């Protein structure tokens, strides 16, 4: 049997076992703390050097770059290594899919990445760890080394638009895939959530793996409520068996 194109839409829930909290979901930390939300809201960030200083300090302190992929990330990477056409569309900014071994070109980061920084003026990019080292060395709000512009994490802040190219690619993959697995996403944040509906409309087998009910459960061929760290490896192993791996 020809192997199906498997698209995975992943949200905060897949990284919980790696010690990364849900920051930006509907019930995420940032939504519950207006002061913290300012640190990741574009207009506040750009308009207030004090907000930027606090934002860099928060990044230095929360050690997100030290997180390691967990069993669910590894299972996705193994499926890809087994020769299945796999694409990951993620709402996460932690880079853990790539760290687990999924080639970067097969991962679409809807909300960007917290592993890089970008200049808001000249768009130059660099590693987050270099920017954090400058913060560590005493620069409260490190400017772009090329042009002196304001640096920000290469994440999509509140008030910023998603990259239309990334979004277009995600939509194309969603329409083309035969299996669409939504993992650890509440499927409440658009436009990512709507992809689950698009996949089902285009005939993909929709599988939802999430602890809580989602608005798309009714469209799903299968809904899995068990913990992601065990449920996803089992689900993907089942897929490999089904297609004769
Ligand atoms: Zn610059």
Q: Mark whether 85 and 196 lie in a shared domain.
A: yes
Please tell me the distance between residue 143's alpha carbon and the centre of ligand 1 in angstroms: 8
CATH number of the CATH domain containing 43: 3.30.1600.10
Q: Mark whether 76 and 104 lie in a shared domain.
A: yes
How far is 233 from 183, CA to CA, in rounded Å?
A: 12
CATH number of the CATH domain containing 174: 3.40.50.1220
Cβ(9)–Cβ(185) below 8 Å: yes
Q: Mark whether 130 and 85 lie in a shared domain.
A: no
97 is catalytic: no
How many domains, in total, are found in the chain?
2
Structural domain span for residue 228: 1-20+69-111+160-245
Predicted confidence (pLDDT) per residue in 228-243, tens digit: 999 999 999 999 999 8
Q: Mark whether 177 and 240 lie in a shared domain.
A: yes
List all residues 6 or more positions away from 172 whose beta carbon is below 8 Å from its beta carbon. none
**Threshold 0.85, pTM exceeds:** yes
In this predicted structure, the answer to whether residue 130 has a pLDDT above a threshold of 90 is yes
Q: Mark whether 222 and 245 lie in a shared domain.
A: yes
Confidence of residue 27 (pLDDT cuts 50, 70, 90): low
Q: How far is CA 53 from CA 15, 133, 139, 237, in A?
A: 27, 14, 9, 45
Q: Mark whether 126 and 229 lie in a shared domain.
A: no
Residues, Cβ < 5 Å to ion ligand 1: 119, 121-122, 124, 144, 146-147, 149
pLDDT, average across residues 215-236: 97
Q: What is the mean pLDDT of the chain?
A: 94
In this predicted structure, the answer to whether residue 185 has a pLDDT above a threshold of 90 is yes
Provide the pLDDT for residue 26: 66
Q: Mark whether 134 and 229 lie in a shared domain.
A: no
Q: What is the dihedral of CA 169, 175, 180, 184, to 10 degrees?
A: 50
Q: Mark whether 207 and 121 lie in a shared domain.
A: no
Please tell me the distance between residue 73's alpha carbon and the centre of ligand 1 in angstroms: 34
Q: Mark whether 181 and 146 lie in a shared domain.
A: no
Confidence of residue 245 (pLDDT cuts 50, 70, 90): low
pLDDT, average across residues 91-106: 97
88: Cα within 13 Å, side-chain hemisphere: 32
Cα of 111 vs its chain's centroid, Å: 6
Please tell me the distance between residue 100's alpha carbon and the centre of ligand 1 in angstroms: 31
Provide the pLDDT for residue 11: 96
Q: Mark whether 171 and 151 lie in a shared domain.
A: no
Q: In this predicted model, which residue has the larger pLDDT, 1 or 231?
A: 231
In this predicted structure, the answer to whether residue 49 has a pLDDT above a threshold of 70 is yes
Q: Mark whether 178 and 215 lie in a shared domain.
A: yes
Provide the pLDDT for residue 23: 74
How far is 131 from 135, CA to CA, in rounded Å?
A: 6
């Amino acid at each position: 049997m020809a192997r199906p194109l498997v698209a995975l839409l992943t949200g905060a829930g897949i990284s919980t076992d790696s010690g990364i909290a849900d920051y930006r979901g509907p019930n995420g930390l940032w939504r519950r703390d207006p002061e913290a939300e300012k640190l990741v809201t574009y207009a506040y960030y750009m308009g207030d050097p004090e907000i930027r200083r606090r934002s860099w300090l928060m990044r230095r302190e929360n050690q997100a770059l030290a997180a390691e992929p967990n069993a669910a990330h590894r299972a996705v990477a193994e499926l890809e290594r087994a020769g299945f056409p796999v694409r990951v569309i993620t709402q996460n900014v932690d880079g853990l899919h790539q760290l687990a071994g999924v080639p970067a070109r097969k991962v679409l980061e809807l909300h960007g990445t917290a592993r890089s920084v970008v200049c808001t003026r000249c768009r130059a990019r660099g590693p987050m760890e270099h920017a954090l080292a400058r913060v560590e060395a005493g620069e409260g709000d490190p400017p772009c080394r090329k042009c002196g512009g304001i640096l920000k994490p290469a994440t999509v802040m509140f008030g910023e638009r998603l990259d239309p190219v990334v979004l277009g690619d995600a939509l194309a993959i969603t329409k083309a895939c035969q299996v669409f697995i939504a993992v650890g996403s509440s499927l409440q944040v658009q436009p990512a959530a709507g992809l689950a509906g698009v996949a089902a409309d285009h005939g993909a087998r929709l599988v939802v793996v999430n602890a809580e009910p989602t608005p798309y459960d009714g469209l799903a061929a299968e809904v899995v409520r068990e913990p992601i760290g065990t449920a996803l490896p089992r689900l993907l192993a089942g897929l490999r068996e089904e297609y004769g791996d």
